[in-house]
Amino acid sequence: MRFLEMLADRILAEHPENLHRVEVIFPAVRPVTPFLRTLATRMSGPGLAPKCWALEDWLFADSGRQRASRMQLQCLLYEAYARAARGEGQTPDAPEHFLSWANGLLEDLDQVDEYEVDASRIFRYLTQQKALEIWSPDGGSPSVAESEYLRFYGLLEAVYLEMHQRLEEQGLAYPGWALRYWTPPHRYREGRVDRVYVAGMEQSSPGLIRVLTALQEQVPVVWICEADAHYLNNPVHLAGHWLRNLPAAPPFGLEVLTGERLRQAQVRIALQKCSGNNEQILAGLDQIRSWLDRGIPPEQIGWILTDPVALWPLLLHWNLPGVSLHLGMPLDLRWTGAYGWMQAGLDLHQALCFKGQVGTEEWEAWLKHPVWAGNLTPWSPSRPGLRYRSQLQSPQTTLGSSPPCPVLAPALDAASVFQHLAHLALILGQATPETEHLPSGRNEMECQALRSLHQLVLQMAPLVPPSEHPWQVWGKMWQQHLGSAALNPKANPGPGIRVLSLELSQALDFEYLVLGGANEGTLPKAGRYFGMLSFDLRRSFGLPEPWASEAIQSYRFYRLLQHSQEVLLTCNLSGADGKISEKSRFVQQLEWEYGVPIQEQTRQLAPISFKPLPEEIVIHKTPEVLERIRAVLSEDRLSPSNLSLLWWCPLKFWFGFVRKLKEPEPVTEELNPAQIGELLHKALELAYADAVGEWISP
């Protein structure tokens, strides 16, 4: 019996008449809908359902504070950091540099509050530790760079206090802050709730234990989780690390449901070694098709992707008509055609802003992109191959039911351009697959992502800190949030095959499971830490270390297998640069430690025959070719560089000078060597314009 079914039976047995006076807290929102659906199938008649929460929603519901978005936190943190730095007579980092380390510091602040660490002590010890790093035995004074290094770490306590003050002023909070200052709301003190169940959480923190302890004084609390008896009782097994570290006798009830289905070989596990990611997807589709042919309901099937990059190839390969696919993980916009179109538009805007011109081919390719098709105003170039900002007229286009919209931004500053692109994203996101301008491959998740991106930029506009390099600041914030723009945290209604990442599978389980990417390096993913606190300080103050993320992944992997009947694991035979890719240590552990029989198969990519390319490229000097060269020479002078190119490689001369084919040049706010050379030549030309024909002495 699966975990949610056991939980539903338990609550029905203990509260048959007053389910509406029960609250259930899950680690995330995704198990809520499956749990309520399971509960409804087990009820003998209609009734009021219990109140179900995700942990963070529960913390914020009665806190009087609003949950701050990651972007809001970044901007507030920069304000706090800049104020603290100026208060100490320091010059703060520019916003574009600040964004490279801001997320790491935000994670530190969140965990300092969640684990109820004395911020003053830990940041003071951190400063002393950094001082020891640069200490010189000969007693020499620190360099200017070393002094700046120490002053930066000396600011962190002041930044923490400034950040809390700004959160208080604006009524905002992050999860650790809400957990640290949570107090039981009125409904518990007034006796309107009979019992609270905390379900499916495999790890705890001092803040969570304190909250549940305070709650226990108002209403009975039961913490229910599950584990395989083997890894729970094995003191060195990573999967049981967090459960073994829960308080032995907490004031609230703690129940760990155990079983031994893995040791008893009650789970059929197969492993397919594939030649690539596409082969893994095809193997998963074949397995799901066979389950559906056997009459397995789609809602009993789950697909876990250890690498979110595989989501878009899965959507492109999906070929099971009539079977809905429910995405429970973010849909990264960077893999969509809409994002590619907007990124190309951003490149054009930057070229117009910094160079004053765009290439004709790039311009026309952007306007004719299949994502955005409409009646566009034609624009004749003033010079072959280039279009200039001074002669630019933005075409008007209509898509779906939207009013005409200019394709280019009215102004070429960073804020205007990104907000204009967000408006175009909204127009694309409001369209439906039935709209004649949209390709049939567009799905609702992508449209939702585009609408979310529009809201994100509107929220970002008044918060972005001023900078000398606004394009870099806007670009970094834009890129950071694209990966979560299409996050759909709520469970999809109705039956369907659910696709999740391992991180988002808490409290969910499936009788039939496909798990892709079971390779070492992706399962588990190495713990990465970008914060400021050193590992020994984290260990001393009880904060989680990077290796602990492997313990979480290990628990979630084995927990998913505990209730399954059939599991297909897929992995790659080869990795990057032709290196052999090993199957995950978790899979090897199943074989060696649990003794689980695993049926292994190899799925090779079908050989592909390529038509051989011609040995050489020859462009004959036909009258048409010669006429084209004459036309180019009538407009452009033949420089010494182009003459050398003709002598060295006539083909490069043809493609580069005559046909104007060039590699796309990245647009930045710094000058590259070629641009510096052009400016130097122009400066010398202007400086010596009056001295033409005269002798110039040293």
Residue 153, pLDDT above cutoff 90: yes
Can you tell me whether residue 384 is helix, strand or coil?
coil
Map tokens 């560089």 to a residue: 641
Q: Is the peptide bond before 524 cis (omega within 30 degrees of 0)?
A: yes
Q: Residue type at 225?
A: C
pLDDT of 155 reads: 93
pLDDT of 668 reads: 66
Beta-strand runs (E) in 246-378: 253-259, 268-274, 301-305, 325-327, 357-359
Residue 139, pLDDT above cutoff 80: no
> What pTM value is reported for the model?
0.80
Reference 579, options 655, 649, 520; nearest CA is 520
Task: Categorize the per-residue pLDDT at 434 as very low, low, confident or very high, splitting at 50, 70 and 90.
Answer: very low
Can you tell me whether residue 388 is helix, strand or coil?
strand
Two structure tokens written together for 79 = 């304000």
Q: Residue type at 218?
A: Q
pLDDT of 329 reads: 80
pLDDT of 433 reads: 46
How many CB atoms are closer than 10 A to CB 649?
Answer: 12
**What is the bridge-based pairing of β-strands 51-54 and 22-26?**
parallel
Q: If you average pLDDT over residues 389-403, what whole number do you get?
A: 60
pLDDT tens sequence across 349-392: 998 888 888 887 787 777 777 776 554 545 554 455 676 777 66
The CA distances from residue 141 to 151, 177, 535, in Å, are 14, 39, 27
The C-alpha torsion from 74 through 78 and 81 to 86, rounded to 10°, is 180
Contact 564, 572 (CB under 8 A): no
Residue 684, pLDDT above cutoff 60: yes
Q: Which residues of 469-503 are buried (b: 16+ CB within 10 A; e: fewer)?
A: bbbbbbbbbbeebbebbbbbeebeeeebbbbbbbb
Query: CB-based contacts of 429: which residues, under 8 Å, 6+ apart?
Result: 446, 447, 448, 449, 450, 451, 453, 454
Share of the chain above pLDDT 70, in %: 88
Beta-strand runs (E) in 562-642: 566-572, 598-603
Helix (H) or strand (E) holding 229: helix 229-233
The CA distances from residue 523 to 30, 503, 633, 647, in Å, are 22, 11, 60, 55
**What is the bridge-based pairing of β-strands 268-274 and 566-572?**
parallel
Task: Categorize the per-residue pLDDT at 444 as very low, low, confident or very high, splitting at 50, 70 and 90.
Answer: low
pLDDT tens sequence across 35-51: 999 999 998 888 889 99
pLDDT tens sequence across 320-356: 888 888 888 877 777 777 777 888 888 889 988 888 8
Helix (H) or strand (E) holding 197: strand 195-199
